[in-house]
Structure 1
Amino acid sequence: MKKTARLKVKPSYVKSLKAGYPLISEDAILNLHEIKDEGTIVELFDEKNTFLGKGYYGKQNKGRGWILTRDPQEVINESFFHEKLKNAAAHREALFNDYETTAFRVFNGEGDGIGGITIDHYNHYYVITWYSEGAYAFKNDIIAALKNNVPKVKGIYEKKRFAGKGTYIEGDDFVEGEKAPEPLLVRENGIHFAVYLNDGAMVGVFLDQRDVRKKIRDKYASGKTVLNTFSYTGAFSVAAALGGAVKTTSVDLANRSRAKTQEQFSVNGIDYSEHDIIVEDVFNYFKYAVRKELSFDMVILDPPSFARSKKHTFSAEKDYTGLLEQAIAITEKNGVIVASSNCATFGMTKFKDFIDKAFKNAGSPYKILEEFKLPTDFKYHREFKEGNYLKVVFVKKG
């Protein structure tokens, strides 16, 4: 039986919680110090003892837990999690039945009703990411609910991201079932990806960019030269090559990016030697490209929200405009820049302001061709705008 605690909400936070905001922030609670154990069931009340919600206590960045229900009578137990997983699986029914796509998100935290966890599907292997010890306290109930509601669970892995500021805890990520082959091959709209479920915090492909990769392959890549910056394992480059790009150039600072990108090309039957894979700081590469008078028909710009190298510190909110200016300088006239950000601290309107400022600073006209947000499997909570983090804009340079 889980411990329960009664929390008093400060008056200034009552309105947002009543409106449905699901995160319990540290600053919102008057008596948070009374709770000792993560996973404690908490009931929230205002100063008039009006019930506001029920959830759990768990440290996740600045959050201290999540509201799971607005019904004071609802019990948070195995049946509760069963219902949430059942609804989540039903929302992804089309993806479960899609032969061309075997990698997608099954459960997206607060968007599916339980903040602090995500579950991804990789060809009948499942990866659960726990973002707090509080969420982890429900592990057995959630795994049971998962196995009862999704088809054919071959094996289950987990990622623990609660070592302060969401840091990944190293260790064996395998939980139960059979172990996945290494690499495990999955499909995304017919594109093959090699993933490693037990090889650190990230498995090898970011699933939230599925629609963007398909659009690059199907509409924009044919006959083009493509520069993919912050390329990770080269997923955008593979999509472009399969779409008929004459050449792709992938640039990433991580040493392992070269071998990983070569592998992604190979599993798609592409000769990686016909493409450039460069291990280099992207900021240095931009200077090199200007010096050598290189230019590209398409530049993909998908930096992390925050990054630090020996010479550069990058913050998307402060530095995206300047980064985009450098990309504009090496993009051909009538070329396309795929500007992307997963930074949760600003929305699409502000992101478009960054784009507008960058093109004005560069003295170049531009036209927005289309935009993307999260795909349908990355369900988000309408009151929790931080959860709707992805912004991608296809911009044509005039």
Structure 2
Amino acid sequence: MKSSTAPEPTAWQELLEIALAARAHELSGLGTGGLRLFNGFLEGWPALSVEVFAHTLVIYDYAQPPLADPLIRQIQIFYQTQLSFIQCVILKTRRTAEKRGRVIFGSQPATRLTENGVHYALNLHLNQDAGFYLDTRQLRVWLKENAANKTILNTFAYTGSLGVAARAGGAAQVIHTDRHKNFLSLAKDSYRLNNWPVEMADFMVGDFFSVVARLKRTGPLFDGVILDPPYFSTTAKGRVDLTESVRLINKVRPLIADGGWLVAVNNALFVSGAEYVRALETVCADGYLSIEQFIPAPPDCAGYPATVRRARPTNPAPFNHSTKIALLRVRRKLKMG
């Protein structure tokens, strides 16, 4: 059955060619790093996204029904022709059996990548996504440049890439916390790739609300906290909903030392940039938090002027992408007496 979401035969190849040409300056570092090669939602084919991690190409087919096998094969050949280092291709679709991906070319997917001099462990079959978010690349750069001698709490750590970047920047300690042990296992693998000791106390498996409550009771304050929650999640202990960013920020702000910082990420496509800024301004109204800067998504994720063909459902401005990253500075009330 032909999918109605596929462009005409000549049109789809032109879209991929234009997108790849816009990224030409990024291609020389590939083979070990990661890049979004095609963001179909913005670049003209919403049913398709393509990323590369080291030597592995990942094709995301969001079409319903999925794109026909011969068309997927043509897309695969297009990229293999352009990028000679590709040794493996994974296809992820909305079919239950393929959500985590199946290998359609080669055998062994990449198990590591290197970005900005830091090694990250990969498991490209771990989840529906690739387990490594390319849209937070500039945040990893910032963390590496600003974490020296700091104590950092990485909440909703997932596979730990943000905390790993902070550790690479010379952080005195990074504590990663996530509900899922298998996600944190990948963060530990990243430590091993970088020849860092793995201290079990730095990897806390548990519900966000429980861990934060325990740290408030027992732990010293942190110099920085990373808050990058999923767009929605519920547990017996509480609910995570990115339409309620203020509530989550207020949960972690008591853990941050005077003069410390909070990285607050909201990746909800349906939350506009203006709406998120209003939420941040609300939580900053008491004068003990202030917005210091916004960190952009890289252009391979945010789109290039020559490639963007579709408007987003909500306007991310003043951010450049639906992954909205804000750096907040923290002041604490002085205790009297």
2:91–2:102 CA contact under 8 A, matched in 1: yes
Report what 1:215 is aligned to. Answer: 142
Alignment of 1:343-354 (within 5 A): 343-354=268-279
Q: 1:81 aligns with which of 12, 24, 31?
A: 12
CA distance in 1, matches of 2:47, 2:31: 29
Q: 1:161 aligns with which of 94, 97, 106?
A: 94
The answer to whether residue 289 in structure 2 is matched with residue 366 in structure 1 is yes
Deviates more, 1:289-298 or 1:326-335: 289-298
Identity, in percent, stands at 23
Note the C-alpha offset of 1:305: 0.5
CA distance in 1, matches of 2:40, 2:28: 22
**What secondary structure does 1:377 align onto?**
helix
Note the C-alpha offset of 1:132: 1.9
Report what 1:316 is aligned to. Answer: 242
CA distance in 2, matches of 1:364, 1:280: 32
Report what 2:334 is aligned to. Answer: none
CA distance in 2, matches of 1:110, 1:315: 23
CA distance in 2, matches of 1:158, 1:255: 26
2:31–2:55 CA contact under 8 A, matched in 1: no
Higher strand share: 1
Question: How many pairs align?
Answer: 319
What 5-or-longer segments of structure 2 have no aligned partner? Answer: 332-337
Report what 2:41 is aligned to. Answer: 110
Note the C-alpha offset of 1:90: 1.3
CA distance in 2, matches of 1:85, 1:245: 40
CA distance in 2, matches of 1:337, 1:330: 10
Report what 1:236 is aligned to. Answer: 162
Note the C-alpha offset of 1:324: 0.1
Q: 1:147 aligns with which of 80, 88, 103?
A: 80
Aligned AA for 1:374? A
**What secondary structure does 2:187 align onto?**
helix
Report what 2:335 is aligned to. Answer: none
2:31–2:86 CA contact under 8 A, matched in 1: no
Note the C-alpha offset of 1:152: 3.1
Could you say if the C-alpha distance between residues 80 and 285 of structure 1 is closer, same or farther in structure 2, counting changes exceeding 3 Å? same
Report what 1:175 is aligned to. Answer: 104
What 5-or-longer segments of structure 1 have no aligned partner? Answer: 1-36, 41-55, 58-67, 69-75
TM-score of the two chains, using structure 1 as the length reference: 0.74
Question: What's the C-alpha RMSD, in Å, of the aligned pairs?
Answer: 2.3
Deviates more, 1:342-351 or 1:266-275: 266-275
1:81–1:145 CA contact under 8 A, matched in 2: no
Could you say if the C-alpha distance between residues 99 and 82 of structure 1 is closer, same or farther in structure 2, counting changes exceeding 3 Å? closer
Report what 1:53 is aligned to. Answer: none
Report what 2:323 is aligned to. Answer: 390
2:122–2:186 CA contact under 8 A, matched in 1: no
Report what 2:117 is aligned to. Answer: 190
CA distance in 2, matches of 1:336, 1:101: 32
Note the C-alpha offset of 1:310: 2.8
1:342-375 CA distance string (max 9 Å, x none): 1111122211222222233xx4423322212321
Aligned AA for 1:276? D
When Rg is computed on C-alpha atoms for both structures, the one with the higher figure is 1
TM-score of the two chains, using structure 2 as the length reference: 0.87
CA distance in 1, matches of 2:139, 2:313: 21
The answer to whether residue 60 in structure 2 is matched with residue 129 in structure 1 is yes
CA distance in 1, matches of 2:135, 2:212: 26
**What secondary structure does 2:195 align onto?**
coil
Note the C-alpha offset of 1:92: 1.6
Runs of 4+ in 1 over 4 A off after TM superposition: none
Note the C-alpha offset of 1:81: 2.2
Note the C-alpha offset of 1:172: 5.8
Could you say if the C-alpha distance between residues 248 and 172 of structure 1 is closer, same or farther in structure 2, counting changes exceeding 3 Å? closer
Note the C-alpha offset of 1:298: 0.2
